[in-house]
Structure formats: C-alpha cells, structure tokens
Amino acid sequence: MAAAGAEAPGGEGWRAAPRTVPCPPGKLPKPGKPGRNARSDRRATRRDIAFRATDTAAPRRAPRAPPCPRKEFYFLIVAWCVPCLVSLDTLQELCRKEKLTCKSIGITKRNLNNYEVEYLCDYKVVKDMEYYLVKWKGWPDSTNTWEPLQNLKCPLLLQQFSNDKHNYLSQVKKENHRALKPAVAEYIVKKAKQRIALQRWQDELNRRKTHKGMIFVENTVDLEGPPSDFYYINEYKPAPGISLVNEATFGCSCTDCFFEKCCPAEAGVLLAYNKNQQIKIPPGTPIYECNSRCQCGPDCPNRIVQKGTQYSLCIFRTSNGCGWGVKTLVKIKRMSFVMEYVGEVITSEEAERRGQLYDNKGITYLFDLDYESDEFTVDAARYGNVSHFVNHSCDPNLQVFNVFIDNLDTRLPRIALFSTRTINAGEELTFDYQMKGSGDVSSDSIDHSPAKKRARTVCKCGAVTCRGYLN
Ligand SMILES: [Zn+2]
Ligand SMILES: [Zn+2]
Ligand SMILES: [Zn+2]
Ligand SMILES: [Zn+2]
C-alpha cells in the first residue's frame, strides 16, 4: 500500500492555510490629499485609515461613512433573520456602512477600521511596476483594488499566489509575464477561497470532536471543498425506534483490573489489552471494556476505545482518484486503537432501502453489525466521524473489532479500528470494507446477503492482493 502524501507532519502542507497578514501602509499619501480618480481615492482612504488605526499616539476617529439609506438598513435586519438569502459580500458591505462588527462574517473591531489582505486575486505589470489585485479581509469582492508590490507586506500570501500560479501553469504550460490570463487568476481565487473554506471546516470538526487527537484537513490536489452533506458526530446516532442502552447492568469491583477477574471474564472472554494498551486478542474476539458501573478509575488498563482517538489525523485529498482519505500525522504503534466507526444506527431493512437509493459511493458507508445477528447496520454516509473518510484497501493497516462498553446488547456492538502494524507518520489509514467484526473476509456472506442487489464498486486500492471490488 502506498504511503499517501509526501508531507511530514507539521510540514508546510497542512499548515499552509491562509493566514491573514496585516498589510501595513506603504508610502502613504498625505491624509486629505486628493487622489487622481475614484480608484486611487479609495486606496488613499484605505491607507489613511490603516495608518490611523496603528497610530496609537494620536487616536482619531475614522471618517464617518455616509448615512445609510433606510432601505439598506431594512435589508440588513432581514439579512440577520434569513442569512442564506443574502450573500456574504452584501452582509459585509452593509456592516461596513453601518460600522457594525460581526465576527461570524469576518468583520471585527480590528479590521473594521484596518485593512488586511485576505488573499491575492490577480497580477499585472504596468510601466515596469508589479501590481496585485487584493481581496481585503471582511470587504466584499467589489472593493478589491490593485496594489503595487512594494505596498504588500504579506510574504506568505505572495508565496501562496506564486505556488498556485505555478501549479496551474505547469498544467497548461503557457505563461504571460505581464498579466495573467483570466483562467489563471480565476483558478488562484478559487484556490484561495477553497483554502478558507477548508480551514473553516477544519475548525468546525475540531470544535465538534470530543477526543484528544486533532483533525487537520488538506487538499493539495484539486479544487474540491468541504463535503456539503456531512455532519460530524462522536458516537452512534440511533434512528427513531432503536434504543442504545447507555448504562451497563454489571460493573466490576477490582482494585487492579489487569490481574483480577474483571469485566471480560464476566463475559467469558479474555482481557483485550496488554500493559502497553495494545490489543492482544485475535480478530473476531469481542472486547469488553470496563464501564460506568465499574469501581475502577479512568486509568484502568481496560478503558481504551472509550477514550477516543488519541492521534492527530489528517483528512486529505488523495491523488489516485480515491476522493478524500485519512492519514496519520504521528507514528502509530502496532495493535493500537486508532478510531471508532460511528454513524446512524439503522435496521437492516432500512439499510437495504437506503442501499438501493445510494450511489456506489454511498453504499460503501453501510457497515453491517453482524457480530451475532444481522438486525442493524451503521450508516456513516451523512453522519460520521473521521472514519467516514477512511478508504478501503484489500491490504489494510487497520483491523475491525467489536466492542462492548456500556451497551452489552450483542446485536449492537461498537466498531473499533486497531492498527495491524506500525503505521508511520504521513501514511494513509485504510481498512477492509468487507472485513467486518468476524475477523476474516467472508465472501459467502456477501454473495448470500440481500446486498447482492447493490451495485458493485471497483477497488482502486492498488494492493498486490486487490480483490477488484469493494463490495
Ligand atoms: Zn475490573
Ligand atoms: Zn470493569
Ligand atoms: Zn477497570
Ligand atoms: Zn483492492
């Protein structure tokens, strides 16, 4: 299996999300000096304001904006009630006119009277002077201005612009040194917007997750942004009518769960972990962890899956046409718990119905809970965690285990993914979509299941032992 992505953890790749860099004034025209035309007027005012905002010795009020027409104010109110009907640009423009701050649309106290370059949109040379078209943070596109290179103090964004330009031009192999072709500028702006969208999504994922490991998002491959219909959850989301018991009926009273007759023994199985928190039982054997009724504390060696993902992982765009994938940013020891597979818990009949509706891609998110019965399925198509993005491989580095913690109903195990070997930082994580909790690939159960009506998906895992299909 190929290691995915060349970037080392902490490398430029996933940290390259655009940092807004204050763009301090260059050679400022004297305040009040009239400009030659409307555009240069605006630039003069802009620099003027930037200058005043940083000039703490002599604070002066920014010039008042012209009074806002009543009609526009009305639209502003409407905009707050129905934000989806008004573009971000319009909202920002109205806020600026009314001198209102609103963090969620990027207008803060700091940038209300100050100017930061959000990204660079275009480039040209006029009379041997280099100019960049600047998108100002918190200002709509209509207020973008051409600024001479010497006024721009944002080396990271200039570098980003240059990288994006070269990436694009390396594909078309035509370069014009005096001005960019519209297609190039368009690409650079799309790339900048994508970077901002992915950064927002990354922030949202990290706000929602309850586990220790951080989640990063990276796309150095194409213009694909965050998925539009995906919601991050940390645990199973049972469909109406399905109840997940959240308190076990039995708990141990060990003083040391590693040596005493503990919860696993009560269930008739071995303790799943060694002293190094590695799984030591063979695939197909269930894990019974200590639960909320147990006397032991959080450091009990039999509490691993319940603590959640400990590793920093990165959702990244694969370059081999497999869409999004997940790679680890840190080294993972062999036989270690990596992540849980979560999603909506639905009945198998409902899974069958959805399976008919889903395209090939959607079907691969259906995970049958077939540990002891085949009543339920986990559907991670719309609701899921990082595991939603983990690709299939016929030669995977993750292995599935059934886990029981507070819910001891054998029809509803939790699904945990453990490493089968040492996984180095930067390597893509994969599991075998056919290898359910039973421990091996049971092609029989696939052939005989009602799932055979589902369309088959060609596997692109590239493993020597590739079976050719995902389902
Ligand atoms: Zn115990
Ligand atoms: Zn216990
Ligand atoms: Zn315990
Ligand atoms: Zn394969």
Flag the least confident range among 53-57, 256-260, 283-287, 399-403.
53-57
Q: 131, 236, 341, 365: which is the annotated catalytic residue?
A: 341
pLDDT band at 20 (very low <50, low <70, confident <90, very high): very low
The pLDDT value recorded for residue 438 is: 52
Q: Is 327 in contact with 426 (CB distance < 8 Å)?
A: yes
Same domain for 399 and 251, yes or no, is: yes
d(CA 360, CA 63): 58
Residue 165 lies in a domain: no
Residue owning tokens 């969620």: 104
Q: Is 388 in contact with 310 (CB distance < 8 Å)?
A: no
Q: How far apart are the first and last CA of the chain?
A: 19
Higher pLDDT, 452 or 176: 176
Separation of CA 259 and ligand 1 centre (Å): 9
Residue 200 lies in a domain: no
Same domain for 223 and 84, yes or no, is: no
- Tell whether residue 459 is among the known ligand binding residues: yes
d(CA 130, CA 136): 18
Judged by its nearest atom, the ligand closest to the C-alpha of residue 293 is 2
Flag the least confident range among 23-37, 127-141, 220-234, 263-277.
23-37
Judged by its nearest atom, the ligand closest to the C-alpha of residue 404 is 2
CATH classification at residue 242: 2.170.270.10
Residue 386 lies in a domain: yes
The pLDDT value recorded for residue 85 is: 63
Judge whether residue 380 has pLDDT over 50: yes
Residue 171 lies in a domain: no
Judged by its nearest atom, the ligand closest to the C-alpha of residue 260 is 1
Separation of CA 273 and ligand 2 centre (Å): 13
The C-alpha angle 314, 320, 323, rounded to 5 degrees, equals 55
Q: Is 136 in contact with 47 (CB distance < 8 Å)?
A: no
The pLDDT value recorded for residue 392 is: 93
Same domain for 149 and 271, yes or no, is: no
The pLDDT value recorded for residue 48 is: 31
Same domain for 242 and 328, yes or no, is: yes
Separation of CA 396 and ligand 4 centre (Å): 9
pLDDT band at 175 (very low <50, low <70, confident <90, very high): low
Same domain for 257 and 140, yes or no, is: no
Residue owning tokens 């992505």: 5
Q: How deeply is 145 buried, as exposed, middle or buried, from its count of CB atoms within 10 A (0-12, 13-18, 19+)? A: middle
The pLDDT value recorded for residue 285 is: 94
The whole domain housing 282 covers: 209-453
The pLDDT value recorded for residue 93 is: 78
Same domain for 215 and 147, yes or no, is: no
Judge whether residue 118 has pLDDT over 80: yes
pTM score of the predicted model: 0.74
Q: What strands lie across the sheet with 366-369, from one edge to the other?
A: 237-238, 344-347, 376-379, 366-369
Convert the pLDDT of each residue in 207-266 to its tens digit: 999 999 999 999 999 999 999 999 999 999 999 999 888 788 889 999 999 999 999 999
Judge whether residue 65 has pLDDT over 60: no
Which backbone phi and psi does 400 adopt, to 5 degrees? -90, 135
Strand partners, 428: 327
Separation of CA 413 and ligand 2 centre (Å): 17
Which backbone phi and psi does 217 adopt, to 5 degrees? -130, 135
- Tell whether residue 394 is among the known ligand binding residues: yes
Q: How deeply is 330 buried, as exposed, middle or buried, from its count of CB atoms within 10 A (0-12, 13-18, 19+)? A: middle
Residues with CB under 5 A from ligand 4 (ion): 394, 459, 461, 466
Same domain for 118 and 259, yes or no, is: no
The pLDDT value recorded for residue 21 is: 35
- Tell whether residue 84 is among the known ligand binding residues: no
CATH classification at residue 111: 2.40.50.40
Q: Which two tokens stand for residue 379?
A: 């559907």
Q: Is 404 in contact with 416 (CB distance < 8 Å)?
A: no
Same domain for 298 and 424, yes or no, is: yes
Residue 316 lies in a domain: yes
pLDDT band at 276 (very low <50, low <70, confident <90, very high): very high
Q: Is 108 in contact with 114 (CB distance < 8 Å)?
A: no
- Tell whether residue 300 is among the known ligand binding residues: yes
Strand partners, 400: 417
The pLDDT value recorded for residue 87 is: 74
- Tell whether residue 263 is among the known ligand binding residues: yes
Alpha-carbon dihedral 465, 360, 6, 313, rounded to 10 degrees: -100
Q: Is 125 in contact with 177 (CB distance < 8 Å)?
A: yes
Half-sphere exposure of 293 (CA within 13 A, CB side): 13
Q: Which two tokens stand for residue 269?
A: 């199985």
Judged by its nearest atom, the ligand closest to the C-alpha of residue 262 is 1
d(CA 235, CA 345): 10
Give whichever of 70-79, 88-97, 367-376, 443-452 has the largest mean pLDDT. 367-376
Same domain for 427 and 345, yes or no, is: yes
Same domain for 135 and 252, yes or no, is: no
Separation of CA 441 and ligand 4 centre (Å): 13
- Which alpha helices (DSSP H) does 38-107 contain, by range? 38-54, 70-81, 88-98
Separation of CA 275 and ligand 1 centre (Å): 14
Residues with CB under 5 A from ligand 3 (ion): 257, 290, 294, 296, 300, 302
Judge whether residue 289 has pLDDT over 90: yes
Residue 39 lies in a domain: yes
Separation of CA 291 and ligand 2 centre (Å): 6
Residue 38 lies in a domain: yes
The pLDDT value recorded for residue 329 is: 98
The pLDDT value recorded for residue 437 is: 52
d(CA 282, CA 363): 28
pLDDT band at 70 (very low <50, low <70, confident <90, very high): very low
- Tell whether residue 68 is among the known ligand binding residues: no
pLDDT band at 52 (very low <50, low <70, confident <90, very high): very low
469 is an active site residue: no
123 is an active site residue: no
Judge whether residue 463 has pLDDT over 80: yes
Alpha-carbon dihedral 325, 331, 337, 343, rounded to 10 degrees: -20
pLDDT band at 46 (very low <50, low <70, confident <90, very high): very low
The alpha carbons of the chain give a radius of gyration, in whole angstroms, of 28
Number of domains in the chain: 2
The mean pLDDT of the chain is 80
Same domain for 221 and 357, yes or no, is: yes
Same domain for 250 and 348, yes or no, is: yes
Residue 468 lies in a domain: no
Judge whether residue 416 has pLDDT over 80: yes
